[in-house]
Amino acid sequence: MTTPSAPRPPRRALDVSGESALALKRRARRTYRLLAQRYPDAHCELDFADPYQLLVATVLSAQTTDVRVNGVTPTLFARYPDARALAGAAREDLEAVIQPTGFFRAKSESLLRLGAALVERFDGEVPGRLGDLVTLPGVGRKTANVVLGNAFGVPGITVDTHFGRLVRRLGWTDLEDPVKVEHEVGALFPPREWTQLSHVLIFHGRRTCHARRPACGACPVAALCPSYGVGETEPEAARALLRTGPPR
């Protein structure tokens, strides 16, 4: 199979004014192919062994990093290995375990209610359908898609802050609402690619296309990006901004 070569670094941002729907789809897919080459090991960076663990970890990941969540989940899952144990947890003990993730009182409340709902409505098992998952306390479409895509193999797009920032910078959408972004970007790719697309873009957002100072001069898709130049364009300085892992 012939792999696509990276475009040469541009002198200015790509002008996508007047871009047709077909041209957008082709540009988006080429961009994804190049980013997938940069991040061939892109994956969910939350540690988990089953759908229950991934669901709980994803709820905990709100407003914190995956690294911090991974730091508390071994103890958390040793004490509360399933939904029934979680539902019966003493609030103070649960708060003490998850405190490093921040907002621990609100998260404890969400986890206690989540465990109880799983026991009462799904016999302690995590459901494998979007419509069921989003009825659970503390679970929205983003969390549901993470669980479906990574624990059940059901394609889904995870519109977190990184994903939303990147698809707008790349000019794939100008929408802000996560649900609308999910549908508009999803239309550019076959469903079988949605889950891995999410991982690849999130990796790129964490490692290269940072929120405050993106490394434009070290980006493999700079020539395909209408936002080229919002960050550092000098190659050596840009390479110094690259990260090898998620922020701690």
Catalytic site residues?
A: 142, 160
Torsion (CA) 72, 82, 84, 145 in degrees, nearest 10:
90
Torsion (CA) 54, 66, 184, 148 in degrees, nearest 10:
-10
Q: How far apart are CA 248 and CA 235, in angstroms?
A: 25
Residue type, 115: G
Which tokens go with 196? 């891995």
